[in-house]
Amino acid sequence: MKAIIFNSGLGKRMGELTLHNHKSMVRLQSGEAIFERQLRLLHECGINEFVVTVGPFKEQLIEASKAAHLSRCQFTFVENPVYDKTNYIYSMYLAREYITGDVLFMHGDLVFDKALVKAVLESRYASLGCVNRKKPLPEKDFKARIDHGCIQEVSVKIFDDNCFAFQPFYKLCAEDTAAWVRQVEKFISEGKDQCYAENALNEILADMHVLEFDYSRYYVDEVDTPDDLKRVSSDIRRFDFAEQEFAGGISSVNDIMKKYGLKKAFVVCGVPEDLFEREFCFNYVIFDGFTPNPDYNEVCEGVRQFRESGCDCIVSIGGGSAIDVAKCVKLYSAMDVGKPYIDQPHRFSATKHIAVPTTAGTGSESTRFAVIYYNGVKQSVTDDSIVPDIAVMDASLLKGLPEYQKKATMLDALCHAVESMWSVHSDEKSMEYSKAAIRMIFASYRDYLAGDESAAGTVLTAANLAGRAINISQTTAAHAMSYKLTSTFGIAHGHAAALCLPEVWRYIASHTSECRDPRGEDHLVKVLREISDAFGVDTPEKALEKFNGMMAGLNLKKVSCDDENRLSELAGSVNPQRLGNCPVALSRELLLEMYRRILRA
């Protein structure tokens, strides 16, 4: 099957965004252009032949097709020299000799998720068009008239009871493709080049059998205006996060390499090579030149080695530091080598990243966050494009973890889950992840710490779910307060977060009337009740008691401080952005008082 992409329009409604760019080369929030995204997803779903009609800025589209990950694809570009005087029906006419066989038809301004492509391709029906009966009828965009599940008409101007929202993403069998092309030829011979190609299609749909494909569970939308771009960028990221692939067992990396045609991996590892050398059946280059708190210059060296290695993907194996370094190597390798990476705007990188966590805590294998240090100062690197493409979850890799690291990372995951639930950015999906993570940790943490591999698998999954939750919601005050504790007292990050969580939790629970979440006090009260339920109790007070009982049973190192200057320094170090995610405002004076209680002897 081949893909036909109509990309010959001017994009006048995009304003300044298309003064120097093709409409489909406008970039989404992830940094990836719409056309680049279409090609990547279609190729990953098995489409290797493309016919693309072009108008203005054709060189941009041609350049996009030369990306390394598309090297096995075949492209035919068909130029419409009168793109500014005709509609895309004329572009279809010009490309008619290449529009043959079973095809996917689509407009070049469509943004869709990978699951949609898979579902359409896997459907047993030969010809489909994308319809959403649940979406309100658009005023100026395509609608489809449906009769007994078949599309009878596609038009902007129809608003009857049997008309529904439609997107120009079709799968057509060879017979239906040929029929549409013949009708387009007829229209052009009659001088009808100012209309949609759908006008020609409408005259023969009654004789075809193009079924409606319900896309309400998937995502497909067009970008016509800057407002569309903002909305679609925000909407699609949740679908992309949910589509991250998962595999079990470190040996599955071999299958992933084969599946995507990858030949040589840049392995960023924070573990001994003998942990994976017997498992990997492909060529790889090792990079382990980084410290537990990775420095910017170490990452730069990783970028240099990756560029010189000839590797076509990245595999990270280790804890959060290894995975974070790999994320930054991927991100920075797409940037200008002649300028400091840390000062450049982020660019999308299509390099595949396979993450293999060897700790159960950070959830870094599924988040858009990374931490590095620049001139000794912690830098948070955040970008949607750095979420690893595949996470390989192998509980056997947790066996050698020291007991304290097991406890601290597990606590980090638990704090992620709790904070995510009350974050002002939480949503239904993040809540679902968080509640499951809390329940799984409390059901398994004792057996996990006792060395049970099945329980280790449960905690590993819980940590991942908590990571996926904060990927949506971000963390809040307890995490914001923890970072300086970690560096000041030499304790693990998860340990520090767990020391801070009870004070924040207690304050939020007693000040719900001060809620600043737009969803209001009732929402916050409901969330606190749901957190309690996940802990297996019925009030925040009992949930806190259960958390504190867990902490006492872990027998962690005591940390204390009564130096007011040091305490004031801690209060002043808290990141205001993460405080902004908290549903109740916390002043510096309040933070200082919280630190006093946390660190009292």
Structure tokens at 62: 């041609």
Q: Where are the alpha helices (DSSP H) in 334-490?
A: 403-422, 428-449, 453-473, 477-489
**190 C-beta neighbours (distance < 10 Å), count:** 8
Asked if residue 57 lies in contact with residue 93, where contact means CB atoms within 8 angstroms, the answer is: no
Q: In the chain, what percentage of residues exceed pLDDT 70?
A: 100
Taking only Cα atoms into account, the Rg of the chain, rounded to an integer number of angstroms, comes to: 27
Residues 226 and 14 sit within 8 Å (Cβ to Cβ): yes
What length does the chain have? Answer: 601
Which token pair is 9? 């329009």
Q: Half-sphere exposure (CA, 13 Å, Cβ side) for 362?
A: 23
Measuring CA to CA, which residue among 596, 495, 599, 480 is closest to residue 555? 495
**E strand spans, 173-252:** 211-214, 220-222, 245-248
Q: Are 473 and 433 in contact (CB under 8 A)?
A: no
**Which residue segments constitute the domains of the chain, with CATH numbers given?**
2-235 (3.90.550.10)
CA 110 to chain centre: 18
Is it the case that residue 8 has pLDDT exceeding 80?
no
Give the C-alpha separation, 38 to 365, whole Å.
25
Please report the pLDDT score of residue 305 as a whole number: 97
**Across the strands, what pairs with 416?**
none
Please give the pLDDT value at position 376: 84
Q: How far is CA 513 from the centre of its chain?
A: 34
**pLDDT tens digits, residue range 259-304?**
999 999 999 999 889 889 999 999 999 999 999 889 999 999 999 9
Half-sphere CA count of 176, side-chain side, radius 13 A: 23
- Which range has the worst mean pLDDT, 5-19, 75-89, 358-372, 408-422? 5-19
pLDDT-derived band at 578 (thresholds 50, 70, 90) equals confident
What is the DSSP code string of 244-310?
-EEEESTTHHHHHHHHTT--EEEEEESS-GGGTTTT--SEEEEE----SS-BHHHHHHHHHHHHHHT
> Is residue 13 very low, low, confident or very high in pLDDT (cuts 50, 70, 90)?
confident
**What integer is the mean pLDDT of 294-317?**
96
Report the pLDDT value the prediction gives residue 572, as an integer from 0 to 100. 92
Please name the amino acid found at residue 202.
N
**The residue to which tokens 């589509």 are assigned:** 243
Q: pLDDT tens digit string along 416-470?
A: 999 999 999 999 999 999 999 999 999 999 999 999 999 999 999 999 999 999 9
467-507 confidence digits (pLDDT tens)? 999 999 999 999 999 989 998 999 999 999 999 999 999 99
**Number of Cα atoms under 13 Å in the Cβ half of residue 126:** 9
The span from the CA of 477 to the CA of 491, in Å, is: 18
Per the CB < 8 A criterion, the answer to whether 302 and 290 are in contact is: yes
**Whether 23 contacts 14, CB under 8 Å:** yes
Q: Say if residue 10's pLDDT is above 80.
A: no
357 touches 319 (CB < 8 A): yes
Three-state secondary structure call for residue 160 = coil
Rounded Cα–Cα distance for residues 115 and 243 (Å):
8
How many Cβ atoms sit within 10 Å of the Cβ of residue 557? 10
Pairwise CA distance, residues 380 & 294, whole Å: 12
pLDDT for 438 equals 98
pLDDT band of 601, cuts 50, 70, 90: low
CA distance 437 to 460: 10
| Residues 434 and 483: beta-carbon distance below 8 Å | no
**CB 217 within 8 Å of CB 204:** no
Give the pairing type, strands 313-318 and 143-147. unpaired
| Residue reference for tokens 């008239």 | 145
Residue that is written with structure tokens 């943004």 in the block: 111
C-alpha 1/C-alpha 323 separation (Å) is 37
Which two three-digit tokens encode residue 67? 């990306």
* pLDDT band at residue 132 using 50, 70 and 90 as cut-offs: very high
Q: What is the pLDDT of residues 38-85, one digit of tens each?
A: 999 999 999 999 999 999 999 999 999 999 999 999 999 999 999 989
CA 253/CA 265 separation, integer angstroms: 10
Q: Which residues contact 556 (CB under 8 A, 6 or more apart)?
A: 404, 407, 408, 495
Compare 11 and 350 and report the one with higher pLDDT: 350
Among 222, 212, 221, 214, residue whose Cα is nearest residue 132: 214
- Would you say 56 and 22 are in contact if contact means Cβ atoms under 8 Å apart? yes
Alpha-carbon distance of 569 to 567, in angstroms, equals: 5
Q: pLDDT digit string (tens) for 145-157?
A: 999 999 999 999 9
Confidence of residue 379 (pLDDT cuts 50, 70, 90): confident
Average pLDDT over all residues of the chain: 95
Q: What is the mean pLDDT of residues 575-598?
A: 93
Contact of 163 with 99, CB cutoff 8 Å? no
